Structure 1
């Protein structure tokens, strides 16, 4: 029996980190679905309400992340590498940050017409949040490794698709939009959404690293 497997018998079942990670990833799904609803509604008042909700959810995510960091500083024994706990908490927090950043740019730059690429990228971000949550929930026992790896593969595929949507959308802006301010506004929104998918991939990479270290 490998030393790591023997050691697991002597490590108490974690009752701190995994519940916090699951809270963070569940909050992430709410951020993603709220973003999709916001870009799909034509009711500007409702959209602004949803933008405010995204801000509230991002602040809630910040509180969970700070609690994770606090527990990391207090606990000697952790369920996996301290660096990985920190990296995963940061990656999940960054996804929420860029979802909020996307919403803020739409609101501040008065982007009221939601183009197909904006809607598609928002949907991809939401998909990434769902897969991050699925993988996070399997970390506590590492029995269903296939679920984690499949989620990470889907996240990588989603990020590649987001790159394609982003690049095509920006090319379309330069080809067919003459107003420089409009180009800048839409490019900023698209870039924030695409970066949110990058952060989903960062979270997937951390979880794949955890799997390798605990195999």
Structure 2
């Protein structure tokens, strides 16, 4: 029974990471084929991923509440669950910010940023797939580093994208500059959230090996 319960925990994390990957892929699809007239359809579909993430978090919380023994500290497991849920929340918020600011078209930098977010979530999923073997894994450390490296790439992209949009705005509406700074910041937050997951995994490994 204990092993089955452990499988539940690890599979829950992997499912949450997979949901984040699907949300990131959908974000990229929406930005590549952006149509402001379809936002009434786009937002509810993205919210389905967020709802799935919430459901996985609730399932984890319920299991942690009733389990006497957990594979790692209960608090660490809960924190990792929350951080995974935050990744999905951030991805949804990118589209929400675009909608709130009534953005009519998407920049190439935003599409490149979304591609990087897909890379971040994919690396995060690979890391969490390896997490059940953390006590003897030879790959997990490098997978953690991969997520951190992807986040650093996003930091650079954020700085360049925000600066270039401000520099080349050519007298456009100042509200557009503010809007895109907010959008780029939200995209960066997605990458930061993935790194937070990696940092939590790294802390778990250090405490339990």
Matching residue within 155, 160, 170 for 2:152? 160
TM-score if structure 1 supplies the norm length?
Answer: 0.88
Pair 1:55-2:29 in alignment? no
Distance 1:184 1:61 in 2: 30
Is the contact between residue 41 and residue 47 of structure 1 (CA under 8 Å) also seen in structure 2?
no
Matching residue within 57, 69, 79 for 1:77? 69
What does residue 115 of structure 1 align with? 107
TM-score if structure 2 supplies the norm length?
Answer: 0.90
Runs of 4+ aligned residues of structure 1 deviating over 6 Å after TM superposition are none
Pair 1:33-2:25 in alignment? yes
1:120: Cα distance to partner? 1.5
> Structure 1 residues 114, 48: CA separation in 2 closer, same or farther (over 3 Å shift)?
farther
Matching residue within 114, 121, 132 for 1:129? 121
Distance 1:171 1:121 in 2: 14
What does residue 202 of structure 2 align with? 208
1:155: Cα distance to partner? 1.1
Total equivalences in the alignment: 205
- 1:49-90 Cα distance to aligned partner (Å, 9 max, x none): 343321111111011112211211111211111121111111
Matching residue within 70, 89, 97 for 2:89? 97
Alignment of 1:14-25 (within 5 A): 14-25=6-17
Distance 1:112 1:136 in 2: 37
Secondary structure of the residue aligned to 1:80 is coil
CA RMSD, 1 decimal: 1.9
Distance 1:36 1:57 in 2: 14
Uncovered stretches (5+) of structure 2, i.e. residues with no partner: none
Pair 1:12-2:2 in alignment? yes
Uncovered stretches (5+) of structure 1, i.e. residues with no partner: 1-10
What does residue 187 of structure 1 align with? 181
